Amino acid sequence: MAEVRLDAVSKHFGTGEAAVTAIAEMSLTIGDGELVILLGPTGAGKTTTLRLIAGLEKPDAGRVSIGGRDVTGVNPAERDVAFVFQQYSLYPHLSVYDNLAFPLRSPARRVPEAEIRRKVGEVARLLRIEDKLNNRATHLSGGQMQRVAIGRALVRRPAIYLMDEPLSSLDAKLRSDLRLELKRIQQELGATILYVTHDQIEAMTMGSRIGVIDRGRLVQVGTPREIYENPVDLHVAQRLGQPGINLVPRALLPEVPAPPGAHTIGARTEHVRIARAGHADGVGLVRWIERLGDQNHLHVTLRGQDLVTLGEPDSDLSVGDRVGVEFLRPLYFDAAGRRIAAGA
Ligand SMILES: Nc1ncnc2c1ncn2[C@@H]1O[C@H](COP(=O)(O)OP(=O)(O)OP(=O)(O)O)[C@@H](O)[C@H]1O
Ligand SMILES: [Mg+2]
Protein backbone atom coordinates (compact mmCIF):
# COMPACT_ATOMS: atom_id res chain seq x y z
CA MET A 1 0.00 0.00 0.00
CA ALA A 2 1.15 3.59 -0.25
CA GLU A 3 1.04 7.09 1.12
CA VAL A 4 -1.47 9.34 -0.63
CA ARG A 5 -1.16 13.11 -0.72
CA LEU A 6 -3.31 16.01 -1.71
CA ASP A 7 -1.44 19.30 -2.15
CA ALA A 8 -3.59 22.44 -2.26
CA VAL A 9 -6.21 20.71 -4.41
CA SER A 10 -9.17 22.81 -5.57
CA LYS A 11 -12.20 21.81 -7.59
CA HIS A 12 -15.09 23.93 -8.90
CA PHE A 13 -18.20 22.86 -10.71
CA GLY A 14 -20.18 25.04 -13.09
CA THR A 15 -19.40 28.58 -14.22
CA GLY A 16 -20.39 32.16 -13.45
CA GLU A 17 -23.25 32.64 -11.00
CA ALA A 18 -23.83 28.90 -10.73
CA ALA A 19 -20.21 28.08 -9.86
CA VAL A 20 -19.75 25.89 -6.79
CA THR A 21 -16.46 25.51 -4.94
CA ALA A 22 -16.58 21.82 -4.09
CA ILE A 23 -13.00 21.63 -2.73
CA ALA A 24 -10.88 24.61 -1.70
CA GLU A 25 -7.09 24.24 -1.40
CA MET A 26 -7.23 20.95 0.39
CA SER A 27 -3.96 19.50 1.64
CA LEU A 28 -4.04 16.12 3.35
CA THR A 29 -1.69 13.16 3.68
CA ILE A 30 -2.96 9.66 4.28
CA GLY A 31 0.00 7.72 5.65
CA ASP A 32 0.87 4.22 4.47
CA GLY A 33 -1.30 1.83 6.49
CA GLU A 34 -3.39 4.61 7.97
CA LEU A 35 -7.19 4.85 8.16
CA VAL A 36 -8.19 8.49 7.80
CA ILE A 37 -11.81 9.59 8.08
CA LEU A 38 -13.20 12.64 6.33
CA LEU A 39 -16.15 13.83 8.38
CA GLY A 40 -18.58 16.41 7.08
CA PRO A 41 -22.23 17.15 6.36
CA THR A 42 -23.98 16.60 3.05
CA GLY A 43 -22.50 18.65 0.22
CA ALA A 44 -19.23 19.27 2.11
CA GLY A 45 -17.12 17.75 -0.69
CA LYS A 46 -16.44 14.24 0.64
CA THR A 47 -17.30 12.27 -2.49
CA THR A 48 -15.55 14.87 -4.65
CA THR A 49 -12.35 14.37 -2.63
CA LEU A 50 -12.46 10.61 -3.23
CA ARG A 51 -13.21 11.11 -6.93
CA LEU A 52 -10.23 13.46 -7.23
CA ILE A 53 -7.94 10.82 -5.73
CA ALA A 54 -9.41 8.12 -7.96
CA GLY A 55 -8.97 10.33 -11.03
CA LEU A 56 -12.71 10.46 -11.77
CA GLU A 57 -12.48 14.27 -11.41
CA LYS A 58 -9.64 16.50 -12.49
CA PRO A 59 -8.57 19.26 -10.05
CA ASP A 60 -8.56 22.91 -11.17
CA ALA A 61 -5.42 23.43 -9.11
CA GLY A 62 -3.11 21.43 -6.89
CA ARG A 63 -1.56 17.98 -7.03
CA VAL A 64 -2.51 14.42 -6.15
CA SER A 65 0.25 11.92 -5.48
CA ILE A 66 0.16 8.21 -4.68
CA GLY A 67 3.24 6.48 -3.34
CA GLY A 68 5.37 9.52 -4.07
CA ARG A 69 4.32 9.67 -7.74
CA ASP A 70 2.42 12.69 -9.09
CA VAL A 71 -0.76 11.20 -10.59
CA THR A 72 -2.65 14.46 -11.20
CA GLY A 73 -2.75 13.84 -14.96
CA VAL A 74 -2.95 10.04 -14.79
CA ASN A 75 -5.99 7.99 -15.88
CA PRO A 76 -8.13 6.30 -13.20
CA ALA A 77 -7.19 2.85 -14.52
CA GLU A 78 -3.52 3.55 -13.89
CA ARG A 79 -3.91 4.90 -10.36
CA ASP A 80 -4.24 1.63 -8.47
CA VAL A 81 -7.11 2.60 -6.16
CA ALA A 82 -10.17 0.57 -5.11
CA PHE A 83 -13.45 2.42 -4.57
CA VAL A 84 -16.32 1.21 -2.37
CA PHE A 85 -19.44 3.18 -3.21
CA GLN A 86 -22.28 4.19 -0.96
CA GLN A 87 -24.74 2.14 -2.99
CA TYR A 88 -23.44 -1.39 -3.42
CA SER A 89 -23.58 -2.53 -7.00
CA LEU A 90 -23.21 -6.31 -7.15
CA TYR A 91 -23.71 -8.44 -10.25
CA PRO A 92 -27.09 -9.97 -9.37
CA HIS A 93 -26.83 -12.98 -11.69
CA LEU A 94 -23.45 -14.01 -10.25
CA SER A 95 -22.72 -15.94 -7.07
CA VAL A 96 -21.02 -14.29 -4.11
CA TYR A 97 -17.84 -16.15 -5.08
CA ASP A 98 -17.91 -14.79 -8.63
CA ASN A 99 -18.72 -11.28 -7.43
CA LEU A 100 -15.67 -11.38 -5.19
CA ALA A 101 -13.50 -12.91 -7.92
CA PHE A 102 -14.63 -10.40 -10.56
CA PRO A 103 -11.95 -7.71 -10.03
CA LEU A 104 -9.23 -10.37 -10.23
CA ARG A 105 -10.52 -11.82 -13.50
CA SER A 106 -10.00 -8.73 -15.63
CA PRO A 107 -7.89 -9.67 -18.67
CA ALA A 108 -5.32 -7.05 -17.68
CA ARG A 109 -4.60 -8.80 -14.38
CA ARG A 110 -4.43 -12.49 -15.45
CA VAL A 111 -4.56 -13.86 -11.92
CA PRO A 112 -4.33 -17.70 -11.93
CA GLU A 113 -7.53 -19.44 -10.79
CA ALA A 114 -5.83 -21.04 -7.77
CA GLU A 115 -4.68 -17.63 -6.60
CA ILE A 116 -8.20 -16.24 -7.08
CA ARG A 117 -9.59 -19.08 -4.96
CA ARG A 118 -7.09 -18.33 -2.23
CA LYS A 119 -7.82 -14.58 -2.19
CA VAL A 120 -11.59 -14.96 -2.32
CA GLY A 121 -11.38 -17.47 0.52
CA GLU A 122 -9.27 -15.12 2.60
CA VAL A 123 -11.58 -12.13 2.09
CA ALA A 124 -14.68 -14.23 2.75
CA ARG A 125 -13.11 -15.32 6.02
CA LEU A 126 -12.23 -11.73 6.99
CA LEU A 127 -15.78 -10.59 6.26
CA ARG A 128 -17.42 -13.70 7.73
CA ILE A 129 -19.35 -14.66 4.60
CA GLU A 130 -17.60 -18.00 3.88
CA ASP A 131 -20.87 -19.89 4.08
CA LYS A 132 -22.48 -17.61 1.50
CA LEU A 133 -20.01 -18.06 -1.36
CA ASN A 134 -22.39 -20.18 -3.46
CA ASN A 135 -25.42 -17.93 -2.92
CA ARG A 136 -26.66 -15.70 -5.68
CA ALA A 137 -25.77 -12.11 -4.76
CA THR A 138 -29.45 -11.19 -4.68
CA HIS A 139 -30.19 -13.91 -2.10
CA LEU A 140 -28.48 -11.99 0.69
CA SER A 141 -29.51 -9.52 3.35
CA GLY A 142 -28.50 -5.88 2.93
CA GLY A 143 -25.68 -6.29 5.42
CA GLN A 144 -24.33 -9.35 3.62
CA MET A 145 -24.51 -7.55 0.27
CA GLN A 146 -22.52 -4.69 1.68
CA ARG A 147 -19.92 -7.12 2.99
CA VAL A 148 -19.59 -8.54 -0.51
CA ALA A 149 -19.23 -5.02 -1.94
CA ILE A 150 -16.45 -4.26 0.54
CA GLY A 151 -14.94 -7.69 -0.16
CA ARG A 152 -14.75 -6.89 -3.88
CA ALA A 153 -12.43 -4.04 -3.02
CA LEU A 154 -10.43 -6.09 -0.50
CA VAL A 155 -9.52 -8.91 -2.92
CA ARG A 156 -7.16 -6.45 -4.53
CA ARG A 157 -4.20 -4.84 -2.82
CA PRO A 158 -4.33 -1.35 -4.30
CA ALA A 159 -2.33 1.65 -3.14
CA ILE A 160 -5.40 2.91 -1.28
CA TYR A 161 -9.00 1.95 -0.57
CA LEU A 162 -11.47 4.82 -1.01
CA MET A 163 -14.69 4.20 0.90
CA ASP A 164 -17.71 6.44 0.42
CA GLU A 165 -20.09 5.99 3.37
CA PRO A 166 -20.13 2.22 2.84
CA LEU A 167 -22.25 1.53 5.94
CA SER A 168 -24.81 4.30 5.64
CA SER A 169 -27.61 2.15 4.22
CA LEU A 170 -27.43 -0.39 7.05
CA ASP A 171 -29.37 -0.49 10.30
CA ALA A 172 -27.76 0.73 13.50
CA LYS A 173 -26.79 -2.69 14.89
CA LEU A 174 -25.14 -3.83 11.66
CA ARG A 175 -23.34 -0.55 11.29
CA SER A 176 -21.78 -0.85 14.70
CA ASP A 177 -20.76 -4.48 14.05
CA LEU A 178 -19.30 -3.73 10.64
CA ARG A 179 -17.39 -0.64 11.65
CA LEU A 180 -15.55 -2.66 14.28
CA GLU A 181 -14.88 -5.40 11.76
CA LEU A 182 -13.63 -2.97 9.14
CA LYS A 183 -11.24 -1.50 11.66
CA ARG A 184 -10.00 -4.99 12.59
CA ILE A 185 -9.56 -5.94 8.92
CA GLN A 186 -7.75 -2.68 8.22
CA GLN A 187 -5.29 -3.41 11.00
CA GLU A 188 -4.88 -7.03 9.98
CA LEU A 189 -4.11 -6.05 6.37
CA GLY A 190 -2.20 -2.86 7.18
CA ALA A 191 -4.47 -1.23 4.62
CA THR A 192 -4.37 2.44 3.66
CA ILE A 193 -7.94 3.75 3.68
CA LEU A 194 -9.61 7.10 3.18
CA TYR A 195 -13.14 6.66 4.50
CA VAL A 196 -15.74 9.41 4.27
CA THR A 197 -18.81 9.72 6.42
CA HIS A 198 -21.19 12.19 8.01
CA ASP A 199 -21.48 9.88 11.04
CA GLN A 200 -19.45 11.16 13.97
CA ILE A 201 -19.54 7.80 15.77
CA GLU A 202 -17.90 6.10 12.79
CA ALA A 203 -15.32 8.86 12.71
CA MET A 204 -14.56 8.63 16.44
CA THR A 205 -14.38 4.84 16.59
CA MET A 206 -12.63 3.97 13.32
CA GLY A 207 -10.20 6.70 12.38
CA SER A 208 -6.57 6.94 13.39
CA ARG A 209 -7.06 10.54 12.29
CA ILE A 210 -10.13 12.55 11.38
CA GLY A 211 -10.27 15.40 8.89
CA VAL A 212 -13.27 17.64 9.47
CA ILE A 213 -14.51 19.10 6.19
CA ASP A 214 -16.99 21.93 5.80
CA ARG A 215 -18.02 23.54 2.51
CA GLY A 216 -15.00 22.21 0.70
CA ARG A 217 -12.48 23.27 3.34
CA LEU A 218 -10.54 21.01 5.62
CA VAL A 219 -11.12 22.77 8.93
CA GLN A 220 -9.11 20.54 11.27
CA VAL A 221 -7.14 17.31 11.12
CA GLY A 222 -6.19 15.31 14.19
CA THR A 223 -6.71 12.18 16.23
CA PRO A 224 -10.30 11.61 17.34
CA ARG A 225 -9.29 12.68 20.82
CA GLU A 226 -7.61 15.91 19.66
CA ILE A 227 -10.61 16.85 17.58
CA TYR A 228 -12.99 16.10 20.44
CA GLU A 229 -11.00 17.81 23.18
CA ASN A 230 -9.42 20.63 21.20
CA PRO A 231 -11.76 21.76 18.46
CA VAL A 232 -10.46 24.80 16.56
CA ASP A 233 -13.89 26.37 16.25
CA LEU A 234 -17.57 26.08 17.07
CA HIS A 235 -18.30 24.15 13.89
CA VAL A 236 -15.87 21.36 14.81
CA ALA A 237 -16.97 21.39 18.46
CA GLN A 238 -20.56 20.83 17.37
CA ARG A 239 -19.77 18.05 14.91
CA LEU A 240 -18.57 15.65 17.61
CA GLY A 241 -20.35 14.50 20.74
CA GLN A 242 -23.73 12.92 21.33
CA PRO A 243 -25.60 14.81 22.81
CA GLY A 244 -23.93 17.85 21.29
CA ILE A 245 -21.69 20.22 23.24
CA ASN A 246 -23.55 22.70 25.47
CA LEU A 247 -23.08 26.27 24.26
CA VAL A 248 -23.88 29.16 26.56
CA PRO A 249 -23.45 32.90 25.86
CA ARG A 250 -20.63 34.13 28.06
CA ALA A 251 -22.87 36.93 29.33
CA LEU A 252 -25.17 34.37 30.97
CA LEU A 253 -22.33 32.98 33.07
CA PRO A 254 -20.47 35.90 34.62
CA GLU A 255 -19.32 33.61 37.50
CA VAL A 256 -17.26 31.40 35.19
CA PRO A 257 -13.78 32.85 34.67
CA ALA A 258 -13.14 33.35 30.97
CA PRO A 259 -10.39 34.94 28.85
CA PRO A 260 -11.02 38.35 27.25
CA GLY A 261 -12.95 38.15 24.00
CA ALA A 262 -14.85 35.02 25.06
CA HIS A 263 -18.31 35.22 23.57
CA THR A 264 -19.53 31.65 23.95
CA ILE A 265 -18.71 29.05 26.58
CA GLY A 266 -18.81 25.42 25.51
CA ALA A 267 -19.03 22.46 27.88
CA ARG A 268 -19.50 18.86 26.90
CA THR A 269 -22.20 16.79 28.58
CA GLU A 270 -19.63 15.07 30.79
CA HIS A 271 -18.17 18.43 31.83
CA VAL A 272 -21.39 19.92 33.12
CA ARG A 273 -21.86 18.57 36.62
CA ILE A 274 -24.46 18.81 39.26
CA ALA A 275 -22.43 20.85 41.71
CA ARG A 276 -21.39 19.89 45.18
CA ALA A 277 -22.30 22.46 47.83
CA GLY A 278 -20.38 25.71 47.32
CA HIS A 279 -19.15 24.83 43.79
CA ALA A 280 -22.07 25.97 41.66
CA ASP A 281 -21.50 28.31 38.71
CA GLY A 282 -25.26 28.79 38.53
CA VAL A 283 -28.54 27.33 39.73
CA GLY A 284 -30.87 25.62 37.27
CA LEU A 285 -34.07 23.64 37.16
CA VAL A 286 -34.28 19.95 36.18
CA ARG A 287 -36.67 19.88 33.21
CA TRP A 288 -36.43 16.31 32.05
CA ILE A 289 -34.53 13.12 32.86
CA GLU A 290 -33.61 10.82 29.99
CA ARG A 291 -32.91 7.34 31.36
CA LEU A 292 -30.52 5.41 29.11
CA GLY A 293 -29.86 2.44 31.38
CA ASP A 294 -26.14 2.82 32.08
CA GLN A 295 -26.49 6.57 32.61
CA ASN A 296 -28.98 9.42 32.66
CA HIS A 297 -29.04 12.61 30.70
CA LEU A 298 -30.34 15.44 32.83
CA HIS A 299 -31.87 18.33 30.95
CA VAL A 300 -31.44 21.43 33.05
CA THR A 301 -32.56 24.97 32.32
CA LEU A 302 -30.16 27.61 33.55
CA ARG A 303 -31.22 31.24 33.14
CA GLY A 304 -33.38 30.34 30.17
CA GLN A 305 -30.68 28.20 28.56
CA ASP A 306 -31.14 24.43 28.12
CA LEU A 307 -28.19 22.26 29.12
CA VAL A 308 -27.67 18.51 29.02
CA THR A 309 -25.56 16.89 31.73
CA LEU A 310 -24.63 13.36 32.68
CA GLY A 311 -26.37 12.08 35.76
CA GLU A 312 -25.88 8.96 37.84
CA PRO A 313 -28.46 6.25 37.07
CA ASP A 314 -29.23 5.88 40.77
CA SER A 315 -29.54 9.61 41.49
CA ASP A 316 -32.72 10.63 43.31
CA LEU A 317 -33.21 13.88 41.37
CA SER A 318 -36.67 14.57 39.97
CA VAL A 319 -38.11 16.91 37.41
CA GLY A 320 -38.66 20.30 39.00
CA ASP A 321 -35.69 20.06 41.39
CA ARG A 322 -33.40 23.06 41.68
CA VAL A 323 -29.75 22.11 41.21
CA GLY A 324 -26.40 23.86 41.25
CA VAL A 325 -24.49 23.46 37.99
CA GLU A 326 -20.71 23.39 37.72
CA PHE A 327 -18.68 23.78 34.50
CA LEU A 328 -15.49 21.71 34.29
CA ARG A 329 -12.94 22.30 31.54
CA PRO A 330 -15.00 24.81 29.59
CA LEU A 331 -14.01 25.79 26.04
CA TYR A 332 -14.12 29.43 24.95
CA PHE A 333 -15.04 30.82 21.56
CA ASP A 334 -14.88 34.38 20.24
CA ALA A 335 -17.71 36.19 18.46
CA ALA A 336 -16.64 34.68 15.12
CA GLY A 337 -16.75 31.16 16.59
CA ARG A 338 -12.97 30.69 16.77
CA ARG A 339 -11.54 28.92 19.76
CA ILE A 340 -9.72 31.03 22.38
CA ALA A 341 -7.17 29.37 24.65
CA ALA A 342 -8.20 29.24 28.31
CA GLY A 343 -5.15 31.23 29.40
CA ALA A 344 -5.42 33.87 26.64
N1 LIG B 1 -20.77 16.79 -11.09
C2 LIG B 1 -21.13 17.86 -10.36
N3 LIG B 1 -21.62 18.97 -10.96
C4 LIG B 1 -21.95 20.06 -10.24
N5 LIG B 1 -21.82 20.16 -8.92
C6 LIG B 1 -21.35 19.09 -8.25
C7 LIG B 1 -20.98 17.89 -8.94
N8 LIG B 1 -20.52 17.00 -8.02
C9 LIG B 1 -20.62 17.62 -6.82
N10 LIG B 1 -21.10 18.87 -6.96
C11 LIG B 1 -21.29 19.85 -5.87
O12 LIG B 1 -20.11 19.89 -5.10
C13 LIG B 1 -20.39 19.96 -3.72
C14 LIG B 1 -19.77 18.79 -2.99
O15 LIG B 1 -20.42 17.60 -3.39
P16 LIG B 1 -20.02 16.15 -2.84
O17 LIG B 1 -20.82 15.16 -3.60
O18 LIG B 1 -18.56 16.00 -2.85
O19 LIG B 1 -20.54 16.25 -1.33
P20 LIG B 1 -20.58 15.10 -0.21
O21 LIG B 1 -19.83 15.64 0.95
O22 LIG B 1 -20.14 13.82 -0.78
O23 LIG B 1 -22.12 15.06 0.16
P24 LIG B 1 -23.07 13.80 0.60
O25 LIG B 1 -22.83 13.58 2.06
O26 LIG B 1 -24.43 14.31 0.34
O27 LIG B 1 -22.71 12.63 -0.25
C28 LIG B 1 -21.90 20.03 -3.59
O29 LIG B 1 -22.27 21.38 -3.50
C30 LIG B 1 -22.37 19.43 -4.88
O31 LIG B 1 -23.62 19.94 -5.25
MG1 LIG C 1 -21.11 11.97 -1.06
* Residue 239 located in a structural domain: no
* Residue 240 located in a structural domain: no
In terms of phi and psi (left: phi > 0; alpha: psi -120 to 50; beta: otherwise), the region of 14 is left
Does one domain contain both 183 and 286?
no
Can you tell me which atom of ligand 1 is nearest the CA of 216? 14
The whole-angstrom separation of Cα 147 and Cα 335 is 46
CA–centroid distance, residue 43 to ligand 1 (Å): 5
CA–centroid distance, residue 22 to ligand 1 (Å): 6
Does one domain contain both 76 and 215?
yes
Does one domain contain both 195 and 272?
no
Can you tell me which atom of ligand 1 is nearest the CA of 14? 4
Q: Whose CA is nearest to atom 31 of ligand 1?
A: 43
* Residue 238 located in a structural domain: no
Does one domain contain both 207 and 300?
no
Going through 99-146 in order, the beta strands assigned E by DSSP cover none
Number of domains in the chain: 2
Does one domain contain both 208 and 300?
no
In terms of phi and psi (left: phi > 0; alpha: psi -120 to 50; beta: otherwise), the region of 68 is left
Contacts of 211 (CB under 8 A, 6+ apart): 28, 36, 37, 38, 39, 218, 220, 221
What CATH code is carried by the domain that includes residue 198?
3.40.50.300
Q: Which domain holds residue 267?
A: 246-340
| pLDDT tens series, the chain, 344 aa | 799 999 999 999 998 888 999 999 999 999 999 999 999 999 999 999 999 999 999 999 999 999 999 999 999 989 999 999 877 788 989 999 999 999 999 887 788 999 999 999 999 988 889 999 999 988 888 888 888 999 999 999 999 999 999 988 778 888 888 898 899 989 998 999 999 999 999 999 998 999 999 999 999 999 999 999 999 999 999 999 889 999 999 999 888 889 999 999 999 999 998 877 677 888 899 999 998 888 889 999 999 999 999 887 777 889 999 999 999 899 999 999 999 988 75
Written as one letter, the residue type at 37 is I
8 Å CB contact between 209 and 232: no
> Quick one: pLDDT at residue 25?
97
Ligand 1 pocket test: which of 9, 15, 46 has the largest number of ligand atoms within 8 Å of its C-beta? 46
What CATH code is carried by the domain that includes residue 260?
2.40.50.140
> Quick one: pLDDT at residue 295?
83
Q: Whose CA is nearest to atom 6 of ligand 1?
A: 13
Cis peptide upstream of residue 231 (ω within 30 degrees of 0): no
> Quick one: pLDDT at residue 126?
84
- Lining residues, ligand 1, CB within 6 Å: 13-14, 20, 22, 40, 42-48, 198
Query: Domain end: 203, 233, 263, which one?
Result: 233
Query: Domain end: 171, 203, 233, which one?
Result: 233
Does one domain contain both 170 and 275?
no
> Quick one: pLDDT at residue 278?
75
Q: β-strand 35-39 against 193-197: which pairing, if any?
A: parallel
* Residue 210 located in a structural domain: yes
Does one domain contain both 40 and 124?
yes
> Quick one: pLDDT at residue 344?
58
Rg (CA), the chain: 24
* Residue 272 located in a structural domain: yes
Tell me the residues surrounding ligand 2 (ion) with CB < 5 Å. Answer: 46-47
Q: Which residues are bridge partners to 340 per DSSP? A: 332
The whole-angstrom separation of Cα 240 and Cα 27 is 22
Q: How far is CA 96 from CA 2, 36, 124, 235, in A?
A: 29, 29, 9, 43
Does one domain contain both 220 and 274?
no
